[in-house]
Structures are given as C-alpha cells and as structure tokens.
Amino acid sequence: MASSEPSSTTYPRLVTAGDSAIVIELGSEIDPNVNNQIYSLVKTLEMADIEAIRELVPTYRSLLVNYDPLVSGFAEMNERLMDLVDFSKDRAGTEPEQARIVELPVVYGGDDGPDLDSLAEHASLSVQEVIDIHSGIDYRVYMIGFAPGFPYLGGLDKRIAMPRLKTPRVSVPAGSVGIAESQTGVYPNASPGGWQLIGRTPAKLFDVSSKSPSMITPGSKVRFVPVKSRDR
C-alpha cells in the first residue's frame, strides 16, 4: 500500500487496493480534462481485452481495476497498466467526440421539489431564476455511483450551489432531481438521501430488465427540460 501522499504528487500513479485491485489516479481534482482521460483509458483497457481484468470502475479522477490475481500477479498487472496508461494519455482528447445528450423533463417545485423555495432563498434568487439557471446548461456525467444509475453531474452554476440537508430524508422518490454542494444529480430509484430536492422527472433512469440498465452513461451529458406535469 502506498504511503501518505507527498505534497507534490505526480500523475498518473498506481495505488494498490487490496490483493486484487489497483487504482489508477490521473489527477487530484474534479476536472473535465482529467475525466476525459479516465474514459479514454477505459476504452483503451477494454480494447486491450486483458484476460485477468474482471471489472473497471471509473470515478471523477481515477479508475479502479479489479483483476484476478490467479491469472496475473501484481507486478505483471502493474507494469501492463502503466504501459496502457501512457498509451491512452497520448491518445486522449480534451473533449469526448459528440457527447450524447440525454434530455430529462423535470417538474420543478411543489411536492416534486420541496426544497426549491429554500434554495432560492439561500441563493437570493427567485424560484424562476433558479429553474432557469439549473435548466440552462448541459451537465457532464462524470460518473455513476451511490446507487445503480445515479448520475453525478458536473457544471452546476455556483449561484445555486447549496449544502446537503443536515438530516437526510428516510426516502427520496424515484426521479427526484437534487443539488448537493456544487453538484446536481437524479435519484433513479426511491432511496434515503440528503440532497436538496428541486424537482422530479418521470424518466426511468435505471431498469434492471433492460439490456442497458442505466439510461445515463458516464461521458454523456444531461439537459433538464422544465415541464408542467410529469404526465408528459
């Protein structure tokens, strides 16, 4: 296991995570260019089709590689990954080619967005201004996590950033659109949660019976479209 991180860490770096996983870190902060490099690396590893690799788990700035230690030892896997990291970094662009845009209809406020009024007050904005700001840009999908199909979206306007609830809700309805700090996201299924809820979408983000269970995938973009009713 790596020792405590020095003050001037250089990237990329590989860190052991138990006896059958390696974390590849490409940066220390949430950055779209670093995230692009992560997904370029995912594609490179998928194309390499390494027998020992069981699973790839991308995050904002790193990639967890789960592998079979009976097929490949740590030293061999570490060397192979480092070679592919260097290869992928040379090929990575600064922006994905024609990122897919997923439009989600959203009913803002009321029972569907119980925290919208308090967020508007916190931001010293009108409710309509918050809606306009939130729905006014396309959000980058940095990663899927917390719950199956839950997209972590980057690019939230700082004017409507707000801390999580001090006391999380026991149950948040499926489709709820929330804000937490500088991020926005959508709850794919009913679950506990502490994000500030500003709206709700009728779209089904995660369907385990589907060939592609998650409607939203990392590297794509999400556009929120205000609507009057979830019956749309």
Please state the pTM of the whole predicted model. Answer: 0.79
Q: What is the pLDDT along the chain (232 residues), one digit of tens a residue?
A: 444 455 577 888 899 999 999 999 998 888 888 888 888 899 899 999 999 999 998 888 999 999 999 999 999 999 999 989 887 766 555 455 567 899 999 999 999 999 999 999 999 999 999 999 999 999 999 888 878 889 999 899 999 999 999 999 999 999 999 999 999 999 999 999 999 999 999 999 988 888 788 888 888 899 999 998 766 5
Residue with tokens 């592919």: 84
Residues 145 and 221 in one domain: yes
Residues 213 and 116 in one domain: yes
Q: Is residue 4 part of a domain?
A: no
pLDDT number for residue 145: 81
pLDDT number for residue 1: 45
Q: Which CATH number do you get for residue 59?
A: 3.30.1360.40
Q: Print the domain residue range for 210.
A: 101-226
Q: How far apart are CA 129 and CA 146, in angstroms?
A: 29
Chain Cα centroid distance, residue 181: 14
* CB 13, CB 3: distance < 8 Å: no
Q: How far apart are CA 154 and CA 58, in angstroms?
A: 15
Residues 105 and 216 in one domain: yes
Residues 42 and 133 in one domain: no
Residues 54 and 133 in one domain: no
Cβ-Cβ contacts under 8 Å for 97 (sequence gap 6 or more): none
The count of domains in the chain is 2
* CB 38, CB 152: distance < 8 Å: no
* CB 169, CB 193: distance < 8 Å: yes
Domain final residue pick, 91, 123, 155: 91
Residue with tokens 């260097």: 86
pLDDT number for residue 232: 52
Residues 152 and 112 in one domain: yes
* CB 203, CB 24: distance < 8 Å: no
Q: How far apart are CA 206 and CA 189, in angstroms?
A: 8
